[in-house]
Amino acid sequence: MPYTCFDVTIADHVAHIRLNRPDAFNSMNRPFWRELPEILDDINDNARARAIVISSTGKHFCSGMDLAVFTDGPNAVTSGGAQAQVADRHTAGEAFRRYVHVLQDVFARLDQARVPVLAAIQGGCVGGAVDMTSACDMRYATADAFFVIQEINIGMTADVGTFPRLCKLIPEGWVRELAYTGRRLPAQRAKDIGLVNEVYKDHETMLAAVLETAREIASKAPLAVAGSKVMINYARDHTINDALDYIAVWQVGMFSPAHMAEAFAAKSEKRDAQFADLEPLKKSMCRTIHARAAREVRMQPRSRRWVVWFLAIALVTGLVLWWFWPMLFPSGPRYERWLNES
């Protein structure tokens, strides 16, 4: 299927997604936000690849959000810089919140994909591009690459994923400096602080190396790779004890002696191991998964609050019933003791 913002190829079990609007510095226009989730859902749901590489064309990786997305959005600004008049600023705010969630869900697909996602970055990685690449599993860069949390330079706060993800990737002090100043973070410094895995001299060398890494990942057992990603993400978001328990439960259903036997046999026979791909997801299941994934991060804290409230109310109700039981049901030993004490 042809796309206006991307070129997509799949070879050697690796899906290569390339941003293809170099004349516009690969900015994130409206078609970008429609096409990227379609591409990722197709690869993910239909098990078309075992690894994904996201790269770009031209001098810069991506210049971030296209200004048209701001001016055409539900909370658009006028050409004079003042906020457009709306019937009710509160309902407009609610609509804008949902609009931001739609954008967040696009990049959440990278984090939630069944396979690893590798980003190959040249030149500028600006604004929304930082949101996008921070949701990838690994990042690689050319020597001339740089990262900018551009939102602060245009009078807004980054809101599509930079802060919750970047704070898990690099020291918080660096996140704050970049967020408050809008300074450029050069590729080598990005590697030094852990944002980038490796820096290469030019785009061609980097892309060849990243694709080779993706092919190496694709040669492993897909179920084991998918399980590793699930466990790493879970460990990132939970305590050590929770993560240990989760991996134990996972292994009950996902541990495959057959995959291990094939890996050992291939090694002894000096051949490439042959593993089954992940199963494609049924369309009805896909709709449920996407809807649930879109709500998961937002609903989980609220769900936990409801559980806490329910338990608290149940406890209070139990204590009240226990105290007033003799008056409600005047019989038995407790009633007699209550009368004597009274």
Q: Where are the domains of the chain?
A: 6-218, 222-281, 284-341
Q: What b/e sequence results for 275-295 when a residue is b if at least 16 CB atoms lie within 10 Å of its CB, and e otherwise?
A: beebeebeeeebeebbeeebe
- Side chain identity at residue 171, one-letter code: P
- CA 289 to each of CA 167, 221, 294: distance values in angstroms, whole numbers, following the listed order: 27, 23, 8
CB 175 within 8 A of CB 167: yes
Superfamily, domain 222-281 = Lyase 2-enoyl-coa Hydratase, Chain  A, domain 2 (1.10.12.10)
C-alpha 62/C-alpha 132 separation (Å) is 10
Average pLDDT estimate for 203-211: 99
Neighbours of 147 (CB within 10 A): 29
Domain 6-218, architecture per CATH = Alpha-Beta Complex (3.90)
| pLDDT higher at 62 or 312 | 62
CA atoms in the 13 A half-sphere facing the CB of 341: 7
What's the token pair of residue 279?
A: 């199963």
Buried b (16+ CB within 10 A) or exposed e, 65-82: bbeebeeeebbeeeeeee
B/e letters for 23-59, b = 16+ CB within 10 Å, e = fewer, are eebbbbbeebbebbbebbbebbbebbbbbbbbbbbbe
pLDDT digits (tens, 9 = 90+) for 98-142: 989 999 999 999 999 999 999 999 999 999 999 999 999 999 999
Tell me the sheet residues that pair with 8.
Answer: 17
**In this structure, are residues 125 and 61 in contact, taking their beta carbons and an 8 Å threshold?**
yes
Task: Report the candidate in 294, 122, 269 with the shortest Cα–Cα distance to residue 209.
Answer: 122
Q: What is the pLDDT of residues 16-63, one digit of tens each?
A: 999 999 999 999 999 999 999 999 999 999 999 999 999 999 999 999
**Cβ neighbours of residue 328 under 8 Å, at least 6 residues apart?**
321
Per-residue pLDDT tens digits for 61-103: 999 999 777 666 555 433 344 444 556 888 888 988 998 999 9
pLDDT band, very low/low/confident/very high, at 319 (cuts 50, 70, 90): low
pTM, entire model: 0.80
Token couple for 307: 């559980």
As a whole number of angstroms, the distance between CA 121 and CA 139 comes to 7
**Mean pLDDT on 282-290:** 60
Which tokens is 106 given?
Answer: 């696009």
